[in-house]
């Protein structure tokens, strides 16, 4: 079908010993079992004794971490690091029932340091979990039909879907599709049931992983559904993004398909870069599963398995060429993409407060800074969950929606929040559009503070905005503690990624609704330099902007920041 010669020296066609050590590790893991069950019994360490098991547990939603605030202190005390685990739940589309909420709450209180963290992929993370508490948490989740399968690892991660309560006409349909896709693409190995639920191993002649095979994906793979005009899920940051096309009159017609988004990069390695997904066409709604299978097949077979730094789908596309990749997808899908349909995004943020929908229901979006639910939030939302008959939705901006509330229940929910001192109050435009990842002290990758740094940074940036008359201007701000980009920093109008304690790279010029990458303008600097630069460009923006012009758009038009047209030019 093509005369192009494709380089297959880095992909699955090669023998294992030519691929990266992680590929061999996966292949030797007996479909993600490793020696996890054995390591859980080791009483001499609070960690998993096998480094391979630590990696394999990611496929089961579990990250081994330690309290980095205590690392030095404990080393001097001749104690091992304060090992603990982060558990990420799989909640496709970010929707859970009150019964599930109450279970999450109970487990967080008993085993998770009395806190839950809403993530940028619409789910929950438990932190501060000790080794002995892993099984109680996972078994507790199981009681309410939740699991942690593939919440991390080289597989298809939790599937996202727009939560914008105003577009709830399609929401139920899209959220159901997200769940269907997620259930379809997760690993099928029984290892999870055996290790965490204590299930017996059953002999079978069926392949354990009919899609993935023994080496799974080359790296993580992210899928999301967006409902224009909201791009809250940052569809262009997904490996595979579906943009819903439809209208009230005709219902859901299908999806525009975008491929090859991804945030992660490595400092000082120009071969790595963030990339926005490329639109490749339209599919009818009933082709979603076939399309997801086809796209994942192409990445599974052609993705780089020698160099993990270049193993994401975005590099496969840029290395092989978009046209070739698209043709492969069509071949596997058994059908052609139609021409992409028109759509328009206006924002990737949340709409706060009560919103009513034509079905007569009401939805309350609450602002939760950095998605951190401490004890005060847990107490309030537990009370809400006890009387709530609708759903909870977690937003990709780390907020929470009390959704599907009947008219007569609104007052009771307001009163409960009021009684806990958490009634929705005024929140500045900057705060509403700010995201931070967790970073220190729990994340092993963090080089600088993020969640703990955000409040102080906001406190110092807000007066600058006010001085320039920009206090009410929505501007997206995202902070990550490392370059991997959990807060999706490279599409924010203002972004910081950590380099060392107190030192960040500053990026400017991203698109307000997630349509353009930003560009690094300062490298490895402290807060003073960051605020000084922001003060200067915000000052000019205030004076020179056109009506309705967003900050990022202005910076590009005024030539203050060079436009990054494609990911591979990010480091130019």
Partner 1 sequence: MIMTDPPGQAFTLEQWRLVEQLSQSLGSVQAHWLSGYFAGFDAGLRQALPQAASFPAEAPAPVARTLTILYGTETGNSAQIAQDVGKAAQAAGLTAKVADMADYKQRELGQEQDLLIIVSTYGDGDPPQPATGFFEYIEGRKAPRLPDVRFAVLALGDTTYEYYCQGGKRLDARLEELGATRLIDRVDCDVDYEGDAETWTDAIIGKLGAEASAPALPASAALATPLTTSLHDKRNPFAATVIENIPIVGRGSSKETRHIEFSLAGSGLRYEPGDALGIAATNDPATVAALLDALGLAPDAPFELKGEVATVGEALTHRFEITALVPRFLDYWAMLSDAAALRQLLDEEHAGERAVFLRTHHIIDLVRRFPVKGVMPQGFVSALRPLQPRLYSIASSLAAMPDEAHLTVSPVRYALHGEARSGVVSGMLADRVAPDATLPVYVQSNPHFRLPGDDAPIIMIGAGTGVAPYRAFMQEREASGATGRSWLFFGDRNFRTDFLYQTEWQSWLKDATLSRMDVAFSRDRAEKSYVQHRMKAQAADLFAWLEDGAHLYVCGDATHLAPDVHAALIDIVAGQARTGREAAEDYVRSLQADHRYQRDVY
- Which residues are marked as active site? 88, 157, 220, 222, 437, 443, 482, 486
Per-residue x/- track, 120-159, partner 1 (CB under 8 A) = ----------x-x---------------------------
DSSP 480-549: ESSTT-TT-GGGSSEEEEEEETTEEEEEE---TTS-SB-EEEEEEE-HHHHHHHHHHHHHHHHHHPPTT-
Q: CA-to-CA distance for 218 and 23, rounded, in angstroms? A: 8
Q: CB under 8 A: which stretch of 44-52, 135-143, 177-185, 539-547 binds partner 1?
A: 44-52
- The encoded tokens of residue 138 equal 């996972």
Site for partner 1 in 72-91 (CB under 8 A): 72-80, 82
Contact between 109 and partner 1 by CB under 8 A: the answer reads no
Nearer to partner 1, 45 or 389 (CB): 45
The minimum distance between CB 43 and partner 1, in angstroms, equals 5
The minimum distance between CB 11 and partner 1, in angstroms, equals 25
Contact between 523 and partner 1 by CB under 8 A: the answer reads yes
Mapping DSSP to helix (H, G, I), strand (E, B) and coil, where does residue 231 land? coil
Task: Give yes or no for a contact between 550 and 532, defined as CB atoms under 8 angstroms apart.
Answer: no
DSSP 245-311: EEETTTEEEEEEEEE--B----TT-TT---BPPEEEEEEEGGGHHHHHHHHHHHHHHHS-SS-GGG-
DSSP 261-277: -B----TT-TT---BPP
Contact between 528 and partner 1 by CB under 8 A: the answer reads no
> Which residues face 353 on adjacent strands?
365
Out of 34, 39, 46, 483, the only residue in the binding site for partner 1 (CB under 8 A) is 46
Per-residue x/- track, 447-476, partner 1 (CB under 8 A) = x-----------------------------
Per-residue x/- track, 387-426, partner 1 (CB under 8 A) = ----------------------------------------
The minimum distance between CB 79 and partner 1, in angstroms, equals 5
Q: Which residues of 333-359 are buried (b: 16+ CB within 10 A; e: fewer)?
A: beeebeebeebebebbbbbbeebebee
The minimum distance between CB 9 and partner 1, in angstroms, equals 23
Q: CB under 8 A: which stretch of 188-196, 221-229, 246-254, 498-506 binds partner 1?
A: 498-506
Q: Give the DSSP H or E segment for 244.
A: strand 240-247
Nearer to partner 1, 132 or 406 (CB): 132
Angle between helices 168-185 and 288-302 (to 10 degrees): 40
Contact between 532 and partner 1 by CB under 8 A: the answer reads no
Nearer to partner 1, 486 or 520 (CB): 520
Positions that interact with partner 1 (CB under 8 A): 43-46, 70-80, 82, 130, 132, 268, 447, 499-503, 523-524
């Amino acid at each position: 079908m093509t005369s192009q010669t494709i380089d297959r020296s880095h992909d699955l066609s090669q023998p294992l010993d030519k691929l990266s050590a992680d590929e061999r590790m996966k292949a030797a893991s007996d479909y993600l079992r490793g020696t996890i069950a054995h390591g859980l019994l080791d009483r001499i360490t609070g960690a998993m004794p096998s480094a391979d098991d630590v990696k394999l547990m990611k496929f089961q939603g579990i990250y081994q971490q330690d309290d980095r605030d205590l690392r030095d202190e404990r080393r001097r005390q001749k104690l091992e690091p304060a090992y603990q685990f982060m558990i990420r739940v799989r909640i496709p589309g970010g929707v859970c029932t009150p019964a599930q909420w109450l279970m999450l709450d109970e487990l967080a209180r008993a085993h998770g340091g009395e806190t839950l963290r809403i993530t940028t992929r619409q789910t929950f993370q438990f932190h501060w979990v000790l080794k002995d508490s892993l099984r109680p948490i996972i078994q507790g989740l199981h009681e309410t039909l939740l699991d942690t399968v593939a919440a991390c690892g080289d597989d298809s991660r939790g599937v996202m879907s727009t939560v914008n309560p105003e577009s709830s006409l399609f929401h139920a349909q899209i959220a159901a599709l997200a769940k269907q896709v997620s259930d379809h693409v997760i690993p099928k190995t029984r290892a999870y049931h055996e290790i965490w639920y204590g299930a017996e191993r059953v002999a079978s002649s069926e392949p354990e992983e009919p899609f993935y095979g023994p080496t799974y994906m080359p790296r993580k793979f992210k899928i999301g559904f967006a409902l224009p005009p909201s791009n809250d899920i940052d569809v262009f940051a997904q490996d595979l993004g579906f943009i819903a096309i439809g209208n009230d009159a005709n219902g859901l017609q299908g999806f525009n398909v975008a491929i090859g988004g991804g945030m992660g990069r490595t400092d000082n390695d120009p071969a790595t870069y963030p990339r926005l997904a490329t639109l490749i066409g339209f599919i009818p709604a009933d082709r979603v599963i076939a399309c997801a299978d086809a796209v994942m097949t192409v990445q599974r077979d052609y993705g780089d398995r020698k160099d993990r730094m270049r193993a994401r789908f975005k590099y496969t596309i840029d290395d092989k060429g978009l046209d070739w990749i698209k043709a492969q997808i069509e071949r596997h899908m058994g059908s052609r993409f139609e021409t992409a349909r028109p759509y328009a995004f206006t924002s990737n943020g949340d709409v706060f407060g009560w919103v009513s929908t034509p079905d007569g229901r009401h939805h309350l979006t609450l602002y939760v800074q950095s998605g951190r639910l401490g004890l005060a939030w847990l107490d309030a939302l537990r009370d809400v969950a006890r009387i709530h008959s609708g759903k909870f939705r977690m937003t990709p901006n780390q907020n929470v929606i009390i959704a599907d509330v009947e008219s007569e229940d609104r007052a009771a929910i307001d009163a409960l929040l009021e009684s806990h001192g958490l009634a929705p109050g005024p929140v500045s435009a900057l705060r509403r559009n700010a995201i931070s990842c967790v970073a220190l002290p729990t994340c092993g990758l963090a080089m600088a503070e993020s969640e703990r740094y955000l409040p102080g940074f906001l406190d110092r940036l807000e007066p600058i905005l006010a001085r320039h008359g920009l206090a009410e201007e929505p501007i997206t701000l995202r902070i990550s503690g490392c370059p991997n980009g959990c807060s999706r920093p490279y599409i924010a109008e203002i972004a910081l990624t950590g380099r060392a304690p107190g030192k960040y790279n500053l990026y400017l010029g991203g698109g307000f609704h997630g349509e353009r990458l930003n560009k690094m303008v300062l490298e490895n600097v402290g807060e003073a330099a960051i605020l000084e630069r922001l003060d200067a460009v915000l000052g000019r923006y205030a004076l020179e902007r056109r009506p309705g012009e967003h900050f990022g758009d202005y910076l590009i038009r005024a030539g203050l920041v060079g436009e990054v047209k494609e990911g591979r030019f990010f480091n130019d």
